[in-house]
A and B are shown apart, each in its own frame.
Chain A
Amino acid sequence: MIKLKNVDYQIDQKIILQSINLNIEQGRTTVIMGKNGSGKSTLLKLLNHIIQPTSGLIQSYLKNPIPMLFQKPLILKNTVSYNYQILQKIKKFKINTSWFDQFKLSALEDQKMNSLSGGEKQKLFLARLMSFDQSTLFLDEPNQSLDLESEKLLAKLLLLEKKNKTIILTLHDFEMAKKIGDYFIYLENGKILLQENKQQFFDHFSS
């Protein structure tokens, strides 16, 4: 379990997150939602130990940061295959190519990164992250820039992954959230407005 107790986070006097109390259970898919600038990405980074809270306590089964999907992932000026493999050289993990194959990225292997569309890049970033067999996934807006078909494929792949993984992700898309999420957190201006299971959460928005 990941537990946050009275967590605050601020940068240069600007409060990004305030009084966050949260329990994230292992084995379920937690979706963090909220408007732009509500603190979703910051919360995800705090949960993954990428950044440390200004005050408050975080207790987690993860002791160190693990590879995660960032909103603006690392792009190196080279080919697709170079970008796919370079982080594996640092992490030295067993490589799982299933997402790379599912997104049909082998056709783009020799292309330069600057020739790819936003959606193609996003597929590469997802495949790169998923090449590491991890039991916990942190995904910051995994469906950004994806077309409808790729988004459907992503949802299908995540539904397969969630069977044996803990997934924590940020999303704007309610449809996708409903499809894959088990537990939902809604942030507004750096504060948690709602944290509920699927039924309760969507009842709020349907009423």
Chain B
Amino acid sequence: MIELSKILEAISISLHVSFVSTLFGFFLSIFFGYLIGTREFHFKKYIISILGSLTSIPPVCAGLVVYLIISRSGPLGWMQLLYTPSAMIIAQFIIIFPIMTTLIINYIEQEYPQLREELLSYGASQKDILMLMITNQKSIYLTIALIGFGRAISEYGAAAIVGGSIDHVTRNMTAMIALETAKGNIMVGVSLGAILISLSLIISFGINYFKKND
């Protein structure tokens, strides 16, 4: 029977990797979301539609792309990232970044033009406008962060390809569920599955809570 410490370790790896990838995804998607959403430039429509298409990128494909880049013969092979938590973070980031950025752009394109017109009439600077947009709708950002985290923690394919499911290092919850189920340890798989579902439910409740209380 599998030890409890191994299960806790898988949970900890999952939480750590997903938290870091969400953190990077969150700040970079806010930066690029605002950059794209508040400006008019050539190819803007194309960039938005490419990001939109990438929201549904199959995790396995994202993992494959990262694998090709960081594998020993790839352009970043010298960094020796393959089969490390960092590789899993990069793969998860590639999956969640387009989702979070698209959501932020949608929000900005809805709110910004009107807000900008009125605030400019009051002599507000671009910085004032952006600060008001961020502080006025905190729940939107928390919701976007939770959506990103939920997607990151529940994906399997990408992290498995670039993480390699190495015991104590890169074996996260989803990898352990797949492995233990394949080995016939159905109960461990079911228990970990229940924990994962619980985390998803907590995230979903969190999203609803922020929406209601903002």
A binds B: yes
Binding site for B on A (CB under 8 A): 45, 48, 50-51, 64-68, 70, 72-74, 76-77, 86-87, 90-91
Contact present for A87 and B122 (CB under 8 Å): yes
Whether B114 and A67, one on each chain, are in contact in the complex, defined by CB atoms closer than 8 angstroms, is no
Q: Chain A contact residues: over half helix, strand or loop, or mixed?
A: loop
**Interface on chain B toward A: helix, strand, loop, or mixed SS?**
helix
User: Are B114 and A90 in contact, with the CB atoms below 8 A?
Assistant: no
Cα A70 to Cα B115 in complex, Å, equals 10
A90 close to B124 (CB less than 8 A): yes
Chain A: minimal CB distance from B132 (Å): 7
Residues of B within 8 A of A70 (CB): 114, 117-118
- For B137, the chain A residues whose CB sits under 8 A away are 77
Find out whether the CB atom of A67 lies under 8 angstroms from the CB atom of B136.
no
Instruction: Note all chain B residues with C-beta closer than 8 A to A45.
Output: 117
Do B114 and A72 touch across chains, with their CB atoms under 8 A apart?
yes
Residue pair B122, A91 in contact (C-beta under 8 Å): yes
**Judging by beta carbons under 8 Å apart, are A66 and B121 in contact?**
yes
Contact, CB under 8 Å: B132 / A67? no
Q: Which residues from chain B sit less than 8 Å from chain A, CB to CB?
A: 114-115, 117-124, 128, 132, 136-137, 214
Which residues from chain B contact A91 at a C-beta distance below 8 Å? 122-123
| A residues in contact with B132, CB < 8 Å | 76, 86
Q: A76-B132, A77-B136, A77-B137 are in contact. Are A90 and B123 (CB under 8 A)?
A: yes
Bound CA span A14–B214, Å: 37
With known contacts A70-B114, A76-B136, A77-B137, A50–B119 Cβ distance under 8 A: no
List 29 A–B pairs whose Cβ atoms lie within 8 Å, in order of A's numbering: A50-B117, A50-B120, A50-B121, A51-B117, A64-B123, A65-B120, A65-B121, A67-B121, A67-B122, A68-B118, A68-B121, A70-B114, A70-B118, A72-B114, A74-B114, A74-B118, A76-B132, A76-B136, A77-B136, A77-B214, A86-B132, A87-B119, A87-B122, A90-B122, A90-B123, A90-B124, A90-B128, A91-B122, A91-B123
